[in-house]
Amino acid sequence: MRRLGLALLVLAVIATAVWVLTIPTTVPASALPPYAPNVGNGRTMFYAGGCISCHAVQNDEERTRLGGGRALTTQFGTFYPPNISPDPHDGIGTWSEADFITAMWKGTSPEGWHYYPVFPYTSYQRMTLNDVRDLFAYLKTLPAVGGRVRQHDLPFPIRVRRLIGLWKLLFLDGKAFEDDRTQSAEWNRGSYLVNGPGHCAECHSPRNIIGGVVARQRFAGGPNPEGEGWVPNITAAGIGDWSQQDVEQVLASGELPDGESVGSSMVAVVRSTSQLSAGDRAAIAFYIKSLSALQGPRPPQGKHR
């Protein structure tokens, strides 16, 4: 009986520790200083972040109708990005600014539960406070779209959202982006756009067994997180023979140096990057061309890049 009692006590302590460690964190409204949003910059963040790639209504010619619902099939199950239009019933029309910042930085919903990291808040946490506030202001100018998105189709135990709190302990460090003072302003702008709103590493990196980006192979390519095809290595080991102008051209039009065009999910990415200023595309290209060569996993024979 003593052993049983001790075992139960240990389990209770462990369960309590897990419960405390996995409490969803938030950004309180009281932490936000007065601010007048810059909607023009919010538009830039919108296209840098590629929001339309996941949240635009499928087969709708108006790409800024963010009703969500597109199925994202992954090894962990099928996710359905939510409606993030300003609709007050089915979208984020009733969200406060603090709600939005909390979602972007902490991966926590207004209701207090964890978002799954298919929403790339591990990258969005690098965004500056003003850029997130500007993005929220821009989203509120877009059309309201009715229709609530269905629940994710996930197996047990992945559908237990509380467990995402443990995942966050490993991969959500809460660190803001910091300029590298040894680099140029263009390099730092490109680094910010790529590692923050652009969340390029989320697709262009291999992931471990629990879905975290493998840090030592960041940008080295890997299986498409959506389960179709292979995402290429964009370090010098993969595109070392491309010029900066080649990268800029891909971001502007989707045209590859060999005359072919990008495919798969990169088509939607280019729809967004083509809307950025030429200066921002140049900064992204400049940063990408600075990435040291890293060898990533090799695509299976016959896999399309």
Question: Pairing between strand 72-74 and 77-79?
Answer: antiparallel
Beta carbons within 10 angstroms of residue 227's beta carbon: 11
**H or E stretch covering 78:** strand 77-79
Question: Rounded CA gap, 50 and 248, in Å?
Answer: 16
Q: Model-level pTM?
A: 0.92
User: CB within 8 A of 4, min separation 6: which ones?
Assistant: none
Q: Is the peptide bond before 157 cis (omega within 30 degrees of 0)?
A: yes
> Which pLDDT tens digit goes with each residue over 50-66?
999 999 998 777 889 99
- Taking alpha carbons only, the member of 112, 182, 137, 120 closest to residue 39 is 137
- What letter represents residue 2's amino acid? R
pLDDT in tens, the chain (305 residues): 777 666 666 666 666 766 667 889 999 999 999 999 999 999 999 999 999 999 999 877 788 999 999 999 998 999 999 999 999 999 999 999 999 999 999 999 999 999 999 999 999 999 999 999 999 999 999 999 999 999 999 999 999 999 999 999 999 999 999 999 999 999 999 999 999 999 999 999 999 999 999 999 999 999 887 767 789 999 999 999 999 999 999 999 999 999 899 888 889 999 999 999 999 999 999 999 999 999 988 887 655 44
Sequence ranges of the domains in the chain? 26-171, 185-289
223 strand-pairing partners: 230
Residue 304 is predicted with a pLDDT of 45
Question: Is 42 within 8 Å of 35 (Cβ atoms)?
Answer: no
**H or E stretch covering 237:** helix 236-239
108 strand-pairing partners: 114
DSSP letters, 136-160, are HHHHTTSPP---PPPPPB--TTTT-
Question: Is 226 within 8 Å of 248 (Cβ atoms)?
Answer: no
